[in-house]
């Protein structure tokens, strides 16, 4: 299965990508996660990316494309992948098509998770994720049983530095101007599945997996 998840920050891409990755046993490839681990490792890419990410801007295409190109060649991605947070603009989408054509493994589906901006702001402000297993919680809609501790593994929950209201507004603006045009890009390729992201996590997952099963995308 070779799919990607499109949607504004907070739409639920990460949650759905994790569920799909577990169900279909293929990796979730999140450029946000890859960049955050570059930041934590203190690499030169991380040092360059940190202030850009904290400000909610897009990291330069050359950096992201390099990271993705390397990641897609790793053995676990050869049997399929779920891209989460990539591509984020037309240049990245074109580059992805070129990479996948070269590898003879074209993209099968682009899933758009559609959620209204005001809901997204509330979701992101309340978001916490586990430092150890990556599980995502929301202090308003799906809080952990114990404050700041992961229900699944007991790890510490952290709130991302870029999940504050000022940064979210700028990330949403960038989403609407640069990433949203990709909806038409994939519509023209007849690869778009648009789903309402206002439902519960399980319900959305069922809609996506039913669609993939029906199309025999494994
Ligand atoms: P995310 O975890 O997907 O919300 O990404 C967090 C931040 O990482 C974004 O606000 C960007 O600064 C950066 N980032 C993630 N993916 C990309 C991408 N495909 N292109 C450029 N910047 C990205």
Q: State the CATH class of domain 2-115+179-200.
A: alpha beta
Indicate the pTM of the whole model.
0.91
Domain residue ranges of the chain, discontinuous segments joined by +: 2-115+179-200
With a 6 A CB cut-off, is 64 part of the ligand 1 pocket? yes
pLDDT at 216 over 90: no
User: What average pLDDT is seen over the chain?
Assistant: 95
156 with 148: CB under 8 angstroms? Answer: yes
Q: Which two tokens stand for residue 108?
A: 């099968």
With a 6 A CB cut-off, is 10 part of the ligand 1 pocket? no
Taking alpha carbons only, the member of 133, 17, 159 closest to residue 85 is 17
Instruction: Quote the ligand 1 centre to 53 CA distance (angstroms).
Output: 7
C-beta neighbour count of 46 within 10 angstroms: 16
- Catalytic-residue membership of 160: yes
Task: Tell me what pLDDT residue 42 has.
Answer: 95
pLDDT at 217 over 90: no
| Cβ-proximal residues to 43 (8 Å cutoff; 6+ apart), any chain | none
Euclidean distance between CA atoms 128 and 102, whole angstroms = 38
């Amino acid at each position: 299965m070779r799919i990607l998840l499109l949607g504004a920050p907070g739409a639920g891409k990460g949650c759905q990508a994790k569920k799909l990755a577990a169900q279909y046993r293929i990796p979730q490839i999140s450029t946000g996660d890859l960049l955050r681990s570059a930041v934590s490792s203190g690499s030169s890419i991380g040092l360059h990316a940190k202030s850009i990410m904290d400000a909610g801007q897009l990291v330069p295409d050359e950096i992201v494309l390099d990271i993705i190109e390397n990641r897609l060649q790793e053995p676990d991605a050869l049997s399929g992948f779920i891209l989460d947070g990539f591509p984020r603009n037309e240049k990245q989408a074109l580059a992805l098509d070129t990479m996948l054509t070269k590898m003879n493994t074209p993209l099968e589906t682009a899933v758009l998770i559609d959620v209204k901006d005001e809901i997204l702001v509330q979701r992101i402000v309340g978001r916490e994720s586990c430092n150890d297993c990556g599980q995502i919680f929301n202090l308003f809609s799906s809080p952990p049983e114990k404050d700041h501790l992961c229900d699944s593994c007991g790890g510490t929950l952290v709130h991302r530095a870029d999940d504050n209201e000022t940064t979210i507004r700028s990330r949403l603006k960038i989403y609407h101007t640069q990433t949203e045009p990709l909806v038409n890009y994939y519509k023209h390729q007849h690869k778009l599945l648009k789903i309402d992201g206002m439902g519960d996590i399980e319900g959305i997952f069922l809609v996506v997996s039913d669609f993939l099963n029906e199309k025999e995308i494994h």
